[in-house]
Chain A
């Protein structure tokens, strides 16, 4: 396991194979660790201010015995970029909706803003580039796609993904935190 330093307070390594919950729990049990974060490719482990970062080994990263958390997210497919996406992909608008809502997605990681889940599993026919110039305001709960990912904006803010729809699910709550966690399964249900 190659370990890189991110300054003198954190370590970075390739994301180990295994269930995200198990990886994060194992890393958080290391001496002096205060937090651990996954992206698609990396694991970063944060250490306390007075701790000297040192990596330990992972013993077992087996999936928890409980089944994966699965979320069915209702989506109204009326996004501002839906027609552009259809044109870019060379398919009908209805086919975009069909492809997007029939796929099974996995939360690869949560980043960018609280509760924003990068979902993997987008059909390759729907891969489109980010907008050349990001919108300054994307509405809360917009469902969007970019590159190999799809995701939902939990809060209003700037963003460069292409908007295909919207939901009314609460993605981030001040008591429960993020609805979608790394490793969760997601399906979109058109309505």
Chain B
């Protein structure tokens, strides 16, 4: 259905990931910005969690049949066999998504088509790869998810390094260029902590902010390790994870503390 002609950066297949396997140290995986993936899918009549191509960078493809595509902007567009399309980087978002009507096909591994190359579940896409639609169309039309406007990212204090929470929440940070799906690194003045290594490893969650020695915070991403021994300074509120992960590399990120205990 399509053939990849050129990739500058990294492109992989992702859906909403695999949940329920963390006790085997299999990360959740799935789209870095879940709302963007849903928006692309709904625009072509897919279920919101169908597999899309997640693109960090620029990708050119050629249709080998008449197909319908959409990106995270919700812009449905038919493409004739033989026609080409380039997904350009967008300065307003760190990552882009491309959906095909019917969803991209790949083997389901632990209930997901998401690439996790470390243990041999797929690999990054390359020039010359061919991909086809799984032809799984949604039985009902889904409302398009709203886009995430850029705003402050709310933080809940973590169990460790309490002395650093205020500084983390109020300092100026930028998304470090070395960030990837494993973790997002924050550039800024290092945090001075008295506890960087905890005695015992803890299970992690996506959006957990760890503080290694050196004081540069790392936010656990969907492909991050399921356990870790660094101090847990804070965790990003679920509803703000997409806005955080959509923040472009090098762009500033503003945090805000959530003091109210919600449970």
Contact = CB atoms under 8 A, between A and B. Distances in A.
A157 B118 CA distance: 8
Interface in A80-132: 109-116, 118
Given A6-B208, A109-B227, A174-B109, A39 B203 contact: yes
Interface stretch (B15-23, B90-98, B137-145, B169-177): B15-23
Nearest to B26: A114
A136 to B, nearest CB: 15
Interface string A1-31: 0001111111010000000000010000000
Interface stretch (B1-9, B80-88, B188-196, B229-237): B229-237
A7 B121 contact: no
Given A7-B208, A37-B22, A177-B110, A112 B263 contact: no
Interface residues of A, number: 43
B156 interface: yes
Which of B23, B158, B199, B262 has most chain A Cβ within 10 Å?
B23
B149 interface: no
B201 A40 contact: yes
B202 A113 contact: no
A44 B203 contact: yes
Nearest to A40: B200
A21 B236 CA distance: 30
Contacts of B237: 7-8
Nearest to A21: B23
Contacts of A36: 22-23
A189 interface: no
Given A8-B237, A177-B26, A42 B202 contact: yes
Contact of A34 (B20, B159, B199): B20
Contact of B119 (A42, A52, A110, A155): A155
A190 B156 CA distance: 49
B22 A35 contact: yes
A61 interface: no
A172 to B, nearest CB: 6
Contacts of B203: 12, 37-39, 42-44, 111
B263 A113 contact: no
A24 B19 CA distance: 14
A46 interface: yes
B119 A172 contact: yes
Nearest to B158: A6
Contacts of B26: 114, 177-178
B120 interface: yes
A38 B22 CA distance: 9
A49 interface: yes
A165 interface: no
Interface in B194-212: 199-205, 207-208
B201 A39 contact: yes
A157 B27 CA distance: 16
Contact of A155 (B118, B225, B232, B262): B118
Contact of A35 (B23, B109, B119): B23
B205 A182 contact: no
B25 A113 contact: yes
A166 interface: no
11 contacts: A6-B159, A7-B205, A7-B236, A8-B235, A9-B205, A9-B238, A10-B205, A38-B23, A54-B263, A114-B26, A155-B120
Interface of A: 4-10, 12, 24, 34-44, 46, 49, 52-54, 109-116, 118, 154-155, 157, 172, 174, 177-178, 181-182
Given A42-B200, A112-B225, A174-B109, 11 more contacts: A6-B158, A7-B208, A12-B202, A38-B203, A43-B203, A44-B205, A52-B263, A115-B119, A116-B25, A155-B119, A174-B110
Interface of B: 19-27, 109-110, 118-121, 156, 158-159, 199-205, 207-208, 225-228, 232, 235-238, 261-263
The 3 A-B pairs of least Cβ separation, nearest first, read A111-B227, A7-B235, A44-B203
